[in-house]
Chains A and B, each alone.
Chain A
Amino acid sequence: MAQFLLQSVWLVPCYALIGGLLAAAWSPGLIRRTGPRPAGYVNILMTLVAFVHSLIALSALRNQPPQALSFTWLNVAGLHLSIDLEISAVSVGAMVLVTGLNLLAQIYAVGYMEMDWGWARFYSLLGMFEAGMCALALCNSLFFSYVILEILTLGTYLLVGLWFNQPLVVTGARDAFLTKRVGDLVLLMGVVAILPLTGTWNYTELAKWAETATLDPKVATLLSLALIAGPLGKCAQFPLHLWLDEAMEGAIPSTILRNSVVVGTGAWVLIKLQPVLALSPIASAVIIFIGATTALGTSAIAIAQIDIKRSLSYSVSAYMGLVFIAVGTHQEKTALVLLLTYAVAMALLVASTGTIVWMNVTQDLTQIGGLWSRRPITGISYIIGAAGLVAVPPLGGFWALLQMANNLWNSQPWLVGVLLVVNGLTTFSVTREFGLIFAGKRKQMTMRSPEVLWAMVLPMTILAGLTLHVPLLLQAWHLLPNWASINKTVAGLLILSTAIGCGTGCMIYVNDNWPKPVQLGSKQLQDFFAYDFYTAKLYRITIVFVIGLLSQIVYWFDRYIVDGFVNFVGLFTIFSGQSLKYNVSGQVQFYALTILIGVAFLGMIVSLPLLFNSPTF
């Protein structure tokens, strides 16, 4: 049975897709009588089936070598497009994570999307996302990874734009689509360019090719840079990071997914491409540079936000930056562990803050406070999520960061410094949020804030339990480092950075006596971080301005030069007709003159040869 389920594990994306399609039936325009709720239930059921299926398949995979499946998609002259699937512990494990988080987010949405009519659209898109991510996890072909990434980009556009009557949602969805699309398009250049070099899009074969490949360094660099661009946009890295901030306009259950796993899709492709990217040392340096600057920048920005969701979204960019660093320094395994621990913890953080938003309406951190005694479950969940994210010893984030810092300690110590700073800043940021939400005096918006209903608490607490069990899971999968091999200095430094971040965070934000709102030196500096380095303005004065100007020029050229030329031909014809008609003067004598001139002219032409050719005449 288990073996059969393992063989048919490719059905998992199909379940989710079917769930998504079925959910669409309860759109308000189709089934008009029952209300939208069955859409959610059907989807949850299908997700549960997918989760159980992939879980059993994962257990059946124990101690088995990875298997490869291949379906032919298209076979045309000289091009054989096959859908290659890889059934390995990692890919099926990723599917378990995706379906599990989806299941929890969908149950969460049952509570959160109460009093909303858009369940059909919402759950359809969640199902589509789940299907896409599962397919991406299984997919072993760069080409089809790209296909799925593009479909997910469209999905992001639709999911962010769920409540499209809000103007900020529309602009946010637009930016999310275009920004990710740009990355994807450059990725497409890489995907197309890699085929003539390797003859294959299969990741396994690409890795094999990369082992022995001798490539012109320039070609390798350009190819790698193109391949990086897709994940760069997907993972909300500098400079394509603004979309994640604006995508926080969407519903929170989808934010859970987006922050935990959807941004991971880019990292997943990046990890799979690591052997190819390793061909170019420049590309590796670029990945590290992007990852480091994003991690440092966004973890600093996260501290200056007053919106709960946005504060967390910048931490997402920061942790994706750490994944980039891991890939840039050739630590695929560490990157995968980091993705796992981060996804669970971040999902918990978003779920926890989501319940706060649901009950207190406002997302403004300066308007809430003093919720600890009222909302213990949410508060504890938040603490667990925060502790699981940053380096707090027994929990998952610590092991991932430790493994990473350990590997970097001898080769690139400055990256350990980056890691420590990011860890410290993120700790400070999550502590700050905790202090602002749960500590201090209650404010007007949080005077009455009961705990939310079970459908939101249940997934949150399950996630909290999962976060607590991540170390045990890592141990079971032999992913924890050996006790003897742990670099005590690195571990100590990591814990120290967490302690410093947490300590200062507590001192400033949990401590009621510290004056709030907190001022950081000059107003300009504070605004600089609060407005995300003015990225929106930066986009507007650079790329948006240039494209806008160019399109206006092209429009003008088309409107007036190209159209003008054609219209001129018509106008000229009209004008000549209008003016030549005056030749019909109505005077018979004038007609006679015209005939005469015509005849004389004709006679002259006819007799010209005679004049010149016969001198005797």
Chain B
Amino acid sequence: MHLQLQYFLLLAAALFCIGIYGLITSRNAVRVLMSIELLLNAVNLNLMGFSNYLDPQNIKGQVFTIFVITVAAAEAAVGLAIVLAIYRNRNTVDMEQFNLLKW
């Protein structure tokens, strides 16, 4: 079986959708961050796929991927810092307890 670009893209889309599902349904704030990581990794998979199949000479997609990984790491760090800050105040990481800024 010859690996095609579509398979990479479909896998990445599936991963992205799993991430979205986790992002919207998780009650634990850390799990929300983990879902965001899934999203970013799905994006990376896409970038790698496009880079290999459409741009094998310049591999700009791989450069993008490097940047995304870097920024994702920083983002995850800041995200965990925010979760910790909230946890200190509210003693919980349940997303359903964080609905103070409503109407």
Q: Using a CB–CB distance below 8 Å, which chain A residues touch chain B?
A: 581-582, 584-589, 592-593, 596
Q: Are B102 and A596 in contact (CB under 8 A)?
A: no
Q: Are A584 and B102 in contact (CB under 8 A)?
A: yes
Count A-B pairs with CB separation below 8 Å: 30
Q: Are B103 and A587 in contact (CB under 8 A)?
A: no
The contact sample of 14 A-B pairs, CB cut-off 8 A, is A584-B103, A586-B98, A586-B101, A586-B102, A587-B95, A587-B99, A588-B95, A588-B98, A589-B25, A589-B26, A589-B32, A589-B95, A596-B20, A596-B24
Complex: chain B residue closest to A593, CB-CB: B24
Complex: chain A residue closest to B23, CB-CB: A592
CB neighbours of A588 from chain B (8 A): 95, 98
Flag B83-103 by CB within 8 Å of A: 1 or 0 each: 000000000000110111111
Counting chain A CB atoms within 10 Å of each CB, which of B25, B101, B102 scores highest? B102
CB neighbours of A584 from chain B (8 A): 102-103
CB distance from A546 to the nearest CB of B (A): 54
Q: How far is the CA of A584 from the CA of B102 in the complex (A)?
A: 5
CB distance from B80 to the nearest CB of A (A): 16
Q: Are B24 and A585 in contact (CB under 8 A)?
A: no
Q: How far is the CA of A442 from the CA of B4 in the complex (A)?
A: 134
CB neighbours of B96 from chain A (8 A): 587
Q: How far is the CA of A588 from the CA of B99 in the complex (A)?
A: 8
CB-CB under 8 A for A585 and B32, given A592-B24, A596-B20 = no
Q: How far is the CA of A582 from the CA of B102 in the complex (A)?
A: 8
CB neighbours of A596 from chain B (8 A): 20, 24
Q: Are B102 and A585 in contact (CB under 8 A)?
A: yes
CB distance from A479 to the nearest CB of B (A): 95
Q: How far is the CA of A572 from the CA of B103 in the complex (A)?
A: 19
Q: Are B100 and A589 in contact (CB under 8 A)?
A: no
Q: How far is the CA of A584 from the CA of B98 in the complex (A)?
A: 13
Q: How far is the CA of A592 from the CA of B32 in the complex (A)?
A: 11
Q: Using a CB–CB distance below 8 Å, which chain B residues touch chain A?
A: 20, 23-26, 32, 95-96, 98-103
Q: Are A581 and B20 in contact (CB under 8 A)?
A: no
CB distance from B32 to the nearest CB of A (A): 7
Q: Are B102 and A589 in contact (CB under 8 A)?
A: no
CB-CB under 8 A for A581 and B95, given A589-B32, A592-B24 = no
CB neighbours of A582 from chain B (8 A): 103
CB distance from A574 to the nearest CB of B (A): 15
A586-B100, A589-B23 are known contacts; what are 18 more A-B pairs with Cβ within 8 Å?
A581-B103, A585-B99, A585-B102, A586-B98, A586-B99, A586-B101, A586-B102, A586-B103, A587-B96, A587-B98, A587-B99, A588-B95, A589-B24, A589-B25, A589-B26, A589-B32, A592-B24, A596-B20
CB distance from A200 to the nearest CB of B (A): 76
CB neighbours of A585 from chain B (8 A): 99, 102
CB distance from A425 to the nearest CB of B (A): 85
Q: How far is the CA of A593 from the CA of B103 in the complex (A)?
A: 18
CB neighbours of B95 from chain A (8 A): 587-589
Q: How far is the CA of A586 from the CA of B32 in the complex (A)?
A: 16
CB distance from B13 to the nearest CB of A (A): 12
CB neighbours of A593 from chain B (8 A): 24
CB distance from B40 to the nearest CB of A (A): 15
CB neighbours of B25 from chain A (8 A): 589
Q: How far is the CA of A592 from the CA of B103 in the complex (A)?
A: 17
CB neighbours of A581 from chain B (8 A): 103
Q: How far is the CA of A166 from the CA of B23 in the complex (A)?
A: 84
CB distance from B101 to the nearest CB of A (A): 5
Complex: chain A residue closest to B32, CB-CB: A589
CB distance from A578 to the nearest CB of B (A): 9
CB neighbours of B32 from chain A (8 A): 589
Complex: chain A residue closest to B36, CB-CB: A592
CB distance from A253 to the nearest CB of B (A): 76
Q: How far is the CA of A64 from the CA of B101 in the complex (A)?
A: 102
Q: Name the 8 nearest CB pairs between A and B, nearest first.
A: A586-B102, A586-B99, A581-B103, A584-B103, A593-B24, A589-B24, A586-B101, A587-B99
CB distance from A330 to the nearest CB of B (A): 86
CB neighbours of B20 from chain A (8 A): 596
CB distance from A598 to the nearest CB of B (A): 13
CB distance from A575 to the nearest CB of B (A): 15
CB distance from B81 to the nearest CB of A (A): 16
Q: How far is the CA of A593 from the CA of B95 in the complex (A)?
A: 14
Q: How far is the CA of A607 from the CA of B44 in the complex (A)?
A: 24
Complex: chain A residue closest to B98, CB-CB: A588
Complex: chain B residue closest to A587, CB-CB: B99
Complex: chain B residue closest to A590, CB-CB: B24
CB distance from B75 to the nearest CB of A (A): 15
Q: How far is the CA of A593 from the CA of B26 in the complex (A)?
A: 12
CB neighbours of A587 from chain B (8 A): 95-96, 98-99, 102
CB distance from A359 to the nearest CB of B (A): 84
CB distance from A161 to the nearest CB of B (A): 61
CB distance from B36 to the nearest CB of A (A): 10
Q: How far is the CA of A220 from the CA of B25 in the complex (A)?
A: 90
CB neighbours of B26 from chain A (8 A): 589
CB neighbours of A589 from chain B (8 A): 23-26, 32, 95
CB distance from B78 to the nearest CB of A (A): 15
Q: How far is the CA of A560 from the CA of B96 in the complex (A)?
A: 46
Complex: chain A residue closest to B95, CB-CB: A589
Q: How far is the CA of A582 from the CA of B24 in the complex (A)?
A: 18
CB neighbours of B102 from chain A (8 A): 584-587
